Structure 1
Amino acid sequence: MKRMKSYIKISSILCFILFISKVQSQQLETFIVEALANNPEIQKFELQYSIASEKVNEVNTLPNTEFGVGYFVSEPETRTGAQRFRVSAKQMLPWFGNVTARENYVSSLADAKYEDIVIAKRKLMVSVSQSYYNLYANKAKQHVLSENIKLLETYETLALTSVEVGKASAVDVLRLQMRQNEMQQLLDVLSQQYLAEQTAFNNLLNRENTVAVSLISELNIPSDDFEIISENLALHPELLKYDKRYQSVEKSELLNQKESSPMIGFGLDYINVEKRPAMSFSDNGKDIVMPTVSISIPIFNNKYRSQTKQNELQQKEILAQKSERLNTLETLLDKAKKDRISARISYSTQAKNLQQAKNAEEILLKSYETGTIDFKDVLDIQELQLKFEMNQIESLKAYYEQTTIINYLTQY
């Protein structure tokens, strides 16, 4: 049931992470599902949980049964004959509820360990999503650079024509060529960075580093943001883990109280008796069978009182840690919300600037028809246009990255 609840939570998160673009959701959801199934870190946490769960069977046991055998080197004589050897068996039993308390304590530790799986899966989803957006942004920048290089090649052709008719100098052509070289350098660097990010992405999915990643062709900021339910932050797995740890300490104290109770033992002794020779009576050589009962009392119980004190202090520590983590998560959520708003503002501003740069570019091209084009102005406008396009891509990536963080913190 717990595992099913976890998958339900993860499905809900997927729905919100992939809410923004249907096309994007089909691709990114596939990657996330593959990562959750194959990522070795997730497998590590699942194995740790399985080990913790198996410990319940380990503690569901009684103390070892004691067997003893003794041989009388000097056989003591009794009225019924000489005692030859002795066999004994003894079983100590813990106080009522001790085994159950031990099982409950170990189960509570497994519950706390299970939250590690949920947290690891949510963090993996964030990592896959952010790496995906990094790849998209890199590819978008490469496309922008390629288009700008083509544009500069067109300007170079215009400049060469102007040089031939004496309306431009060879310096203008050289400026355009140097600018193309710079853009080609940026394009080559981005290509290498893309391959590095692709390796990181594939490693998250635990597959070959060279596998090509299929990306959405176009990504836009939606007109409206989904509602952020800040109250859900209190139910975040990182905080629920502290609740589980607190409960495990409670179970530990119950176990401590049970272990401070006495233990009862039951046993049986058998003594072999040899018949007395040349004598005849009813109990001659009769063996001895003696049931025994024992009790183990922890008279010096400072150990248990100290454990109780430690448990009290540990509970206070857990509450303090939870409060500290809640403050950190609240700060992260507020920052992500503000950064996402900033990304939307920046995206809108860059769109306006980009449109104005394109208008300026059209004016320059119209000026060419009258023979008054200034290629230095062309380079300035082109550089501005490239800057605005790059900033717009960064704003788009920042928007989705912050959305991913918000989902991680609030969606269930």
Structure 2
Amino acid sequence: MTKQKTQIKLVLLFGICLSAFNSYGQDLQTLIEDAISNNPGIQKFDLQYKIATEKVNEANSLPNTDFNFGVMAISPEMEMPMERFNVSVMQTLPWFGTISAREDYAASMADTQFVEVTIAKRKLALSVSDLFYQLYEIKAIQEVLNENIALLQTYERLALTSVEVGRASAVDVLRLQIRQNELKQEIAVLIQKNKGLQAAMNSLLNRDYDNEVSVVPALEIPVNDNYYSYENLSVNPELLKYDKLYQSIEQSELVNQKESGPMVGLGLEYINQDNSPMITSPYKDMIMPMVSFSIPVFNNKYKSQTKQNELRKLEIKSQKNERLNSLKAKLSKAISQRNESRIKYSTQEKNLKRAKDAEEILIKNYETGTIDFDDVLDIQELQLRFQMDKIASIRNYYEQSAIINYLVSAL
């Protein structure tokens, strides 16, 4: 089971990180590994799995052995032999195959709990990925804002020069300065937002909230996407969990059938007697083997349990179908949103190129003395919007890719 657990962990990490692995190496994978190793929630599920595994040993046990001891407190004066004390031992044995059936049932419940551990780890990896991409977005936006501030400072110097020669108004300089202040304010707000996201990430990693979380400098949307269909959902652990539950109920019914059989008791009783003139044999004490049977004559309990198990299996089938429909909707939504991100990314790339061309025209116009700083601000705002929309598209693309990998990756 340990080897299987390790394999699942490796596949888990690979599945979540696959879509962006070439872009940023081990950064996200390292965070996911740290989270899985240190997160208290995962530790809780691991302990629950160990408890479920230990129940297999619990199932491999017999009922308590009965020991009885009796002693004659007051002996009446009689010539016939009297019992001084007696000792007996009795062991009840379940019907053949009952213990192995219980072990199989406990093992099936442990398998179900193991799937729960896997699901918890995958969900944790997804949460870490989501925060990682949000942190990337903040860092990328900060870089873009700093670039735009530097660009506005360049325009400000041009405006000051134009004011000196009478080709621009001081109002243009003030407007450029106001715009810089607005961008600096956005950077300050992003810094605070970044602190909150880092605290959330550190919470998942179970470490100090103010630890620095490094993210990649840049991400790009790959040229091609992998194709996924609804059939890929069949390997999702959230569905496998219902298969394991179904198997555990089948094992429970086997236990029920075995327990509906008789129980056999084997024992031995020893009776110690007083000496008596009526007994001439040296063997006055008695040893008596005992056998008992416990037969469930009124077995409505077991019939009812069988009916309940049949109903539980139908319930699990319904739950699985309901969850499958939910996962189909999530997969469809994730694929759709990822495609939307690709379309938006492509559009912003084109718009940025056009905005750069317009910027170059403005600079050339400045050389001829005809620059319009209203156009300068308009172009700058357009560039900034296109750049931020492009970053948002990248973040959403990778977030949706992580969700898709979560949905279609096998154990």
TM-score when scaled to structure 2? 0.94
Deviation per CA, 1:58-86, whole angstroms, max 9, x where unpaired? 12111111111222345467875122222
How far has the Cα of 1:197 moved from its partner? 1.2
Task: Tell me what 2:6 maps to.
Answer: 7
The amino acid that maps onto 2:212 is A
Distance 1:244 1:280, change over 3 A: closer
Contact conserved, 1:159 with 1:173, CA < 8 A, in 2?
yes
Worse-superposed segment, 12-21 or 291-300: 12-21
Q: Which runs of 5+ in 2 are unaligned?
A: none
Q: Distance in 2 between matches of 1:274 and 1:4?
A: 66
For residues 233-244 of structure 1, what are the structure 2 equivalents within 5 Å? 233-244=233-244
Deviation per CA, 1:100-153, whole angstroms, max 9, x where unpaired? 111111111111000011111211221222221111111000000011111111
Deviation per CA, 1:377-399, whole angstroms, max 9, x where unpaired? 21111111111100000000011
Deviation per CA, 1:18-68, whole angstroms, max 9, x where unpaired? 354425122222222222222222221111100000011112111111111
Residue aligned with 1:272, SS: strand
TM-score when scaled to structure 1? 0.94
Contact conserved, 2:101 with 2:251, CA < 8 A, in 1?
yes
Deviation per CA, 1:304-360, whole angstroms, max 9, x where unpaired? 111111111111110000000011111111111111111000000011111111111
Worse-superposed segment, 230-239 or 15-24: 15-24
- Are 2:178 and 1:175 equivalent residues in the alignment? no
Distance 1:280 1:300, change over 3 A: closer
Distance 1:280 1:253, change over 3 A: closer
The amino acid that maps onto 2:306 is T
Residue aligned with 2:167, SS: coil
Task: Tell me what 2:56 maps to.
Answer: 56
Residue aligned with 1:70, SS: strand
The amino acid that maps onto 2:13 is L
- Are 2:334 and 1:328 equivalent residues in the alignment? no
Residue aligned with 1:264, SS: strand
Task: Tell me what 1:110 maps to.
Answer: 110
Q: Distance in 2 between matches of 1:77 and 1:302?
A: 52
Worse-superposed segment, 23-32 or 38-47: 23-32
Task: Tell me what 1:355 maps to.
Answer: 353
Task: Tell me what 1:375 maps to.
Answer: 373
Task: Tell me what 1:189 maps to.
Answer: 189
Q: Distance in 1 between matches of 2:396 and 2:95?
A: 61
Contact conserved, 2:79 with 2:278, CA < 8 A, in 1?
no
Q: Distance in 2 between matches of 1:324 and 1:302?
A: 33
Contact conserved, 2:85 with 2:271, CA < 8 A, in 1?
yes
The amino acid that maps onto 2:169 is S
Q: Distance in 2 between matches of 1:318 and 1:280?
A: 72
Q: Distance in 2 between matches of 1:59 and 1:76?
A: 49
Task: Tell me what 2:133 maps to.
Answer: 133
Q: Distance in 1 between matches of 2:91 and 2:368?
A: 109
Deviation per CA, 1:224-249, whole angstroms, max 9, x where unpaired? 11343542310111100000000000
The amino acid that maps onto 1:296 is S
How far has the Cα of 1:216 moved from its partner? 2.0
Worse-superposed segment, 96-105 or 159-168: 159-168
Task: Tell me what 2:388 maps to.
Answer: 390
The amino acid that maps onto 1:264 is V
Task: Tell me what 2:98 maps to.
Answer: 98
For residues 11-410 of structure 1, what are the structure 2 equivalents within 5 Å? 11-16=10-15, 17-75=17-75, 81-228=81-228, 230-276=230-276, 279=277, 281-283=279-281, 286-410=284-408
Residue aligned with 1:167, SS: coil
Identity, in percent, stands at 56
The amino acid that maps onto 1:237 is P
The amino acid that maps onto 2:405 is N
Deviation per CA, 1:174-229, whole angstroms, max 9, x where unpaired? 21121111111111011111121122222222233232223222211111113435
Deviation per CA, 1:239-293, whole angstroms, max 9, x where unpaired? 00000000000111110111111111112222221112xx375237811221111
Residue aligned with 2:62, SS: coil
Q: Distance in 1 between matches of 2:349 and 2:188?
A: 26
Q: Distance in 2 between matches of 1:242 and 1:79?
A: 73
Worse-superposed segment, 4-13 or 61-70: 4-13
Q: Distance in 1 between matches of 2:262 and 2:33?
A: 53
How far has the Cα of 1:170 moved from its partner? 2.0
The amino acid that maps onto 1:169 is S
